[in-house]
Amino acid sequence: MSKYTLSPDAQRDIQSIREYHRPRRQIAIARKLISIAMKACRYFADNPDLGDPRDDILPALRCGIAGSYLIFYRSISGGIQVPRILHSSRDLTPLMFRDGAG
Q: Counting runs of H as helices and runs of E as strands, what totals does the chain give?
A: 2, 5
Q: Where are the domains of the chain?
A: 3-89
Q: What is the pLDDT of residue 23?
A: 81
The string of pLDDT tens digits covering residues 64-91 is 999 999 999 999 999 999 999 999 998 8
**H or E stretch at 59:** none
* Residue-level length of the chain: 102
Supply the pTM of this predicted model: 0.90
> Out of 3.40.50.150, 3.40.50.300, 3.30.2310.20, 3.10.580.10, which CATH number does the structure's domain 3-89 have?
3.30.2310.20
* Chain mean pLDDT for the chain: 91
